[in-house]
Amino acid sequence: MRRQRPAVGLALLIGLVTGVVFLLGGGQTVTGQAQDVQQDEWSTLSDPASGLTYQIPPTDWHTNPAVGSAGPVTLTQGAERTAYTCGKPVERLLRGVLGSGSAPRTDPTGLADAVARAAASQYYHDSTAPTVKLDPPQKITRSGRNGVLVRAVAIQHADHCLASTGEVLVFVLQFGDHDGVLVVNGDLAGGPANPAPATDAELRAIVGTARPTP
């Protein structure tokens, strides 16, 4: 993924949430993991603004309090996956990034779809926009709160330095006065052989640790 891209405007997010909801597979919604799974020896991050607590693996991931934006959502309490340099002029790129933020309470599926699509386009855009595909949303419950998980996959072949395939997982959990948003991104294929890209299982394991902050 690129180190950072300009954020998509908040007006676009509102338009996507209220106007068009991207539900693939005929609007199918599948049930996801009901309970969070805490990992031994992983580092725990908590974001008061989003109301979410989550964990990162002990290898490849490094904390970074401010990791920019995913679409219109400003991310804090974040982390970055292994960095590398490539290209002329030399550019610093990352194998992944994650963080959380807060959004006004709305339809969680529409919000997750909009953020996932915007973030995937943002992270893997070079000379041309990537192709972005969304999976059907997964309904998830954590500590009695309702949430949804949306997966976006971005594909690009314009830049050999940039991953050819990347994934963005967006987990939205509803609170009384806001929606907590966790964004987990990782390269899946392409770019240099070293550092190696992430895996879908690794990114889903991170999302699996997310829960309301006690």
Which has the closest alpha carbon to 176: 138, 135, 144?
144
Dist CA 72 CA 106 (whole Å): 14
Residue 2: predicted pLDDT: 61
Q: Fill in the amino acid letter for 82.
A: T
**Is a pLDDT exceeding 70 seen at residue 166?**
yes
Per-residue confidence (pLDDT) for residue 26, from 0 to 100: 34
List pLDDT tens digits, range 43-97: 999 999 999 999 999 999 999 988 899 877 999 999 999 999 999 999 999 999 9
Tokens for 206?
């991170």
pLDDT tens readout for residues 100-152 = 999 999 999 999 999 999 999 999 998 889 999 999 999 999 999 999 999 99
pLDDT(8) > 80: no
Q: What is the CATH number of domain 10-22+29-212?
A: 3.40.1000.10
Q: Is 91 exposed, middle or buried (0-12, 13-18, 19+ CB in 10 A)?
A: middle
Q: What pTM was estimated for this model as a whole?
A: 0.85
Selected residue with higher pLDDT from 171 and 9 = 171
| Whether residue 4 has pLDDT greater than 80 | no
